[in-house]
């Protein structure tokens, strides 16, 4: 399939006012500078239409409308040689003769940087023997005759049918080679090949007079199969555009954009067919979510994913839904959008919070009540001194958490404080024997040879006798005592079972996340396609606009110029 | 009026209060902000709207925790009601059929209106004219009929 991405540069920008020059800022913006007034502006100083020397304009017109049949390559080449530097804006000049006047001269003189393109591969054209079709690095191609050592960007008309055939054959081959491809896509590719070919045939009609003009043909079929290649092509198109850009003397921004769009369109043309289904609203994510055909996520999975999200963000199950929405930290997560509506999300959230609260409650019931005395006693051991009376101590540490704990009555606190202070005055041996007694009172299931010193049972920790000894003395003592104890009684089966359940849950979760990833990829692809389609449409619109504009420009020569193209 | 005891001498709240303490604190702060916000530049009747709304939200929060999620215990629920974290009268209405979403008690107080009727926000949306945007005078409610 052949398609030209060349955009006739009608560039309807008015010429610059005399004295103004155009420059490019380092940022890429175009600005205009007047050397006389030393003034610069971003706005194009569209001068009053310059009155052009009639003789000159007629010369230009004469120059740009040669009456030669250029479909013959030899004539075409001769013509190119003769009209070495035709003015770039041939369409505009043909239309109103609006003057390639004085202001523009400087830009024409500037050397035109050529993009560094290289031939990459060649294909012999069957039927027209010496001719070869050469593909370049940037995906363009030209016809080359090694016998005459002649090459043409514009493919000579006599080669056209053969090349078209070659292209169709290649498309077919590619489509058949890919088993994953649907036959429909191939059909699409072929269908799109036809208008493109027509475009190609129309193209030479109005382009032949420009030597700068390079007919860029993008082969569509390369994008047909694999996405990776497609990307590559995309990148190439962009790259080439960028290298071209400085060359365009004052190419308006819309032109370049349209060029890119056209490139993309050419590549996206085969997507077309299957995108058309979801045409109703472009770019709307909602459409994708509601019409989730082909989503790998079941409803169940989506719900589970959303619950995972809630778990991951450590959402407090007691908090109201409004708080979750107000904070908005879950919005960025992809899993937030697996459920299509906020109502569904809220439903899942409700379910989740109910389950979570239940779970929390069960866990809390299972784990033994944390004795509020433990932190308080530990605090006493650290801070209490015989130098302070209770009121002083309370006043000094009233800000500390153990002193504020509402679970512990103030009376008890005071009692323990006094007791502790009194015990500090006792001799070490008494304290040691007391501690031993305490340790002996603990059952073997709670305190045995497996127990760590840092992980003693609460009944030991919550006793005043435990804190009376200095930790430096106490810990070795307790350790020695534990060494002498027997092993714990049997009963470790339950833990293993729990582990298995946890593992199962983890596996399921991983599965769900995988599914989500796949879905994400699908969504991204769909988005990309849609974008391409939009760009393609935009390009077409621009094309048509330009065509209309061109049609509107009826110059002095009237109908004749129109017919000539 | 009896003296307010210091926190250390007060009876601790029932179990489970720590779980919801933070959210209640947020509601409390919001309420304080609403109460202290200047009401100069708004119509007089709108000045109390945010207060009604926050009171409603907080009551709803407690109501849902107790009746729908069953996340808090009865003693805690009663303690919350007693300590003014939720409006018991409003919650009592929510339990009645037709009043599940009631915005505030003033909106069903028929004796306070000229024609002995409820507030406009109690009218189901289906019975209102097309695209009629209502916001009631007493609490700024936009419609709290059960069918909405």
Residue from the list A357, A398, A404 with its beta carbon closest to the beta carbon of B69: A357
* 3-state SS assignment for residue A167: helix
Predicted local confidence at residue A177, as pLDDT? 62
Q: What are the CA-CA distances from residue A348 to residues A355, B50, B54 (Å)?
A: 11, 29, 25
pLDDT above 90 for A205: no
| Minimal CA separation from B74 to chain A, in Å | 15
Backbone φ and ψ for A362, nearest 5 degrees, come out as -60, -45
User: Is A318 close to B70, i.e. CB distance below 8 A?
Assistant: no
Which of A316, A320, A407 would best serve as a mutation to test chain B binding (most B beta carbons within 10 A)?
A320
- Touching check for A317 and chain B: CB below 8 Å? yes
Predicted local confidence at residue A488, as pLDDT? 73
User: Is B69 close to A319, i.e. CB distance below 8 A?
Assistant: no
Spatial contact of A522 and A294, defined as CB atoms under 8 Å apart: yes
Burial string for B104-130 (b: 16+ CB within 10 Å, else e) reads bebbbeeeeeeeeebbbbbbeeeeeee
Between A413 and A187, residue with greater pLDDT: A413
**Which chain B residues have any C-beta within 8 angstroms of a chain A C-beta?**
7-13, 19-20, 22-23, 26, 57, 60-61, 64-65, 68-71
| Minimal CA separation from A418 to chain B, in Å | 19
Per-residue pLDDT reduced to its tens digit, A428-461: 889 889 888 888 888 877 787 777 777 788 788 8
User: Is A316 close to B57, i.e. CB distance below 8 A?
Assistant: no
User: Is A318 close to B23, i.e. CB distance below 8 A?
Assistant: yes
Taking contacts as CB-CB distances below 8 angstroms, the residues of chain A near B58 are: none
| 8-state DSSP, A30 | E
User: Is B65 close to A318, i.e. CB distance below 8 A?
Assistant: yes
* 3-state SS assignment for residue A20: strand
Predicted TM-score (pTM) of the model is 0.46
Spatial contact of A1 and A165, defined as CB atoms under 8 Å apart: no
The share of chain B scoring above pLDDT 90, in percent, equals 68
Residue from the list B9, B60, B71 with its beta carbon closest to the beta carbon of A357: B71
Spatial contact of A167 and A189, defined as CB atoms under 8 Å apart: no
Mean pLDDT score across all residues of chain A: 70
| Geometric angle at alpha carbon A553, from A547 and A557, rounded to 5° | 125
Residue from the list B12, B23, B68 with its beta carbon closest to the beta carbon of A323: B23
Per-residue pLDDT reduced to its tens digit, B30-57: 999 999 999 888 899 999 999 999 999 9
Per-residue pLDDT reduced to its tens digit, A163-181: 888 888 888 877 776 544 4
Q: How confident is the model at residue B103 (pLDDT cuts 50, 70, 90)?
A: very high
> What is the sign, positive or negative, of the torsion defined by CA atoms of A350, A355, A358, A360?
negative
Between A403 and A560, residue with greater pLDDT: A403
Question: For the residues B68-81, what does the mean pLDDT come to?
Answer: 93
Question: For the residues B76-92, what does the mean pLDDT come to?
Answer: 95
DSSP A68-119: --TTSHHHHHHHHHHT-S--S-HHHHHHH-----GGGHHHHHS--PPP---E
Spatial contact of A39 and A205, defined as CB atoms under 8 Å apart: no
Per-residue pLDDT reduced to its tens digit, A343-366: 888 889 999 999 988 888 888 887
Spatial contact of B13 and B76, defined as CB atoms under 8 Å apart: yes
Taking contacts as CB-CB distances below 8 angstroms, the residues of chain B near A350 are: 68-69
Q: How confident is the model at residue A225 (pLDDT cuts 50, 70, 90)?
A: very low
Which of A316, A362, A406 would best serve as a mutation to test chain B binding (most B beta carbons within 10 A)?
A406
Question: For the residues A50-55, what does the mean pLDDT come to?
Answer: 44
Per-residue pLDDT reduced to its tens digit, A180-203: 444 444 444 444 444 444 444 444
* 3-state SS assignment for residue B2: coil
Q: What are the CA-CA distances from residue A551 to residues A12, A61, A221 (Å)?
A: 14, 17, 32
Residue from the list A320, A353, A407 with its beta carbon closest to the beta carbon of B23: A320
Taking contacts as CB-CB distances below 8 angstroms, the residues of chain B near A410 are: 8-9
User: Which chain A residue has the Cα nearest residue B68?
Assistant: A354
- Touching check for A319 and chain B: CB below 8 Å? yes
Spatial contact of B31 and B51, defined as CB atoms under 8 Å apart: yes
User: Is A354 close to B64, i.e. CB distance below 8 A?
Assistant: no
User: Which chain A residue has the Cα nearest residue B14?
Assistant: A407
Which of B7, B8, B17, B29 would best serve as a mutation to test chain A binding (most A beta carbons within 10 A)?
B8
User: Is A320 close to B64, i.e. CB distance below 8 A?
Assistant: yes
Task: Let me know if B4 is exposed, middle or buried by CB neighbors in 10 A (0-12, 13-18, 19+).
Answer: exposed
What number of other Cβ atoms are within 10 A of residue A191's Cβ? 14
The most confident of A120-124, A298-302, A528-532, by mean pLDDT: A528-532
Q: Count A/B contacts: CB-CB distance under 8 Å.
A: 42
């Amino acid at each position: 399939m052949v398609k030209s991405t060349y955009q006739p540069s009608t560039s309807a920008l008015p010429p610059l006012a005399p004295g103004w020059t155009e420059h490019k800022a380092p940022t890429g913006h175009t600005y205009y500078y007047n050397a006389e007034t030393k003034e610069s502006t971003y706005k194009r100083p569209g001068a009053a239409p310059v009155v052009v020397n009639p003789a000159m304009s007629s010369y230009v017109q004469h120059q740009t409308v040669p009456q030669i049949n250029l479909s013959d390559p030899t004539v075409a080449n001769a013509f190119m040689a003769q009209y070495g530097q035709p003015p770039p804006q041939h369409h505009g000049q043909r239309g109103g003769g609006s003057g390639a006047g004085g202001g523009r001269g400087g830009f024409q003189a500037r050397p035109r940087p050529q993009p560094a393109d290289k031939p990459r591969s060649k294909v012999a054209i069957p039927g027209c023997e010496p001719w070869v079709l050469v593909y370049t690095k940037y995906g363009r191609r030209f016809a080359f005759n090694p016998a005459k050592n002649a090459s043409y960007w514009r493919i000579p008309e006599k080669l056209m049918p053969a090349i078209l055939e070659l292209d169709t054959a290649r498309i077919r081959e590619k489509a058949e080679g890919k088993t994953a491809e649907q036959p429909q896509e191939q059909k699409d590719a072929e269908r799109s090949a036809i208008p493109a070919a027509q475009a190609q045939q129309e193209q030479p009609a109005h382009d032949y007079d420009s030597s700068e003009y390079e007919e860029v043909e993008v082969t569509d079929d390369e994008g047909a199969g694999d996405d990776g290649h497609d990307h590559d092509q995309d990148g190439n198109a962009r790259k080439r555009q960028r290298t071209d850009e400085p060359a365009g003397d004052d190419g308006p921004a819309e032109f370049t954009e349209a060029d890119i769009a056209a490139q993309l369109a050419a590549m996206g043309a085969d997507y077309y067919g299957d995108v058309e289904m979801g045409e109703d609203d472009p770019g709307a994510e909602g459409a994708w979510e509601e019409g989730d055909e082909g989503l790998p996520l079941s409803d169940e999975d989506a719900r589970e994913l959303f619950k995972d999200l809630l778990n991951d963000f450590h959402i407090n199950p007691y908090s109201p839904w409004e708080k979750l929405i107000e904070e908005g930290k879950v919005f960025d997560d992809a899993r937030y959008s697996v459920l299509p509506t906020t109502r569904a999300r809220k439903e899942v959230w409700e379910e989740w919070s109910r389950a979570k609260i239940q779970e929390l409650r069960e866990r809390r019931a299972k784990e033994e009540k944390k004795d509020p005395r433990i932190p308080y006693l530990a605090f006493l051991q650290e801070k209490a001194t015989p130098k302070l009376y209770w009121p002083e101590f309370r006043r000094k540490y009233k800000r500390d958490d153990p002193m504020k704990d509402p679970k512990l009555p103030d009376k008890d606190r005071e009692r323990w404080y006094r007791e502790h202070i009194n015990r500090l005055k006792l001799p070490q041996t008494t304290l040691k024997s007391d501690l031993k007694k305490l340790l002996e009172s603990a059952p073997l299931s709670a305190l045995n040879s497996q127990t760590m010193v840092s992980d003693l049972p609460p009944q030991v920790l919550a006793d005043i006798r435990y804190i009376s000894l200095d930790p430096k003395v106490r810990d070795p003592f307790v350790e020695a005592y534990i060494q002498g104890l027997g092993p714990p009684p049997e009963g470790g089966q339950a833990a293993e079972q729990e582990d298995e359940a946890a593992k199962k849950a983890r596996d399921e979760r991983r599965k769900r996340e995988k599914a989500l990833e796949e879905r994400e990829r699908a969504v991204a692809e769909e988005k990309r396609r849609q974008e391409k389609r939009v760009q393609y449409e935009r390009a077409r619109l621009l094309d048509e606009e330009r065509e209309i504009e061109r049609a509107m420009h009826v110059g002095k020569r009237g109908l004749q110029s129109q017919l000539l193209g | 009026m009896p003296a307010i005891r210091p926190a250390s001498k007060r009876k601790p709240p029932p179990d489970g209060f720590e779980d919801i303490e933070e959210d209640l604190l947020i509601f409390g702060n919001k309420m304080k902000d609403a109460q202290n916000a200047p009401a100069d530049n708004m119509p007089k009747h709108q000045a109390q709207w945010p207060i009604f709304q926050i009171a409603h939200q907080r009551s709803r929060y407690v109501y849902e925790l107790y009746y729908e999620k069953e996340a808090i215990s009865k003693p805690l629920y009663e303690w919350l009601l007693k300590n003014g974290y939720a409006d018991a009268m409003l919650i009592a209405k929510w339990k009645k059929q037709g009043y599940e979403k009631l915005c505030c008690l003033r909106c069903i107080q028929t004796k306070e209106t000229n024609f002995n009727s409820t507030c406009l926000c109690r009218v189901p949306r289906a019975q209102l004219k097309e695209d009629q945007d209502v916001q009631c005078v007493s609490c700024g409610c936009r419609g709290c009929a059960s069918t909405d």
